[in-house]
Amino acid sequence: MRDKLDINLRIGDVALSLNIHPEEEELLRAVAKEVNHAYDVYKKRFKDSPEKEVLAMVILLFARGYTTLRMQTKELDEMLDEFNANLDALLK
Per residue in 9-45, pLDDT tens? 999 889 999 999 999 999 999 999 999 999 999 999 9
Whole-angstrom distance, CA of residue 36 vs CA of residue 70: 23
Q: Where are the domains of the chain?
A: 5-91
Percentage of the chain beyond pLDDT 90 is: 95
Please count the other Cβ atoms lying within 10 Å of the Cβ belonging to residue 23. 8
Whole-angstrom distance, CA of residue 41 vs CA of residue 4: 33
* 15 class by beta-carbon count within 10 Å (0-12 exposed, 13-18 middle, 19+ buried): exposed
Sign of CA dihedral 53, 54, 55, 57: positive
Q: Is the pLDDT of residue 1 over 80?
A: no
What is the SS3 assignment for 16? strand
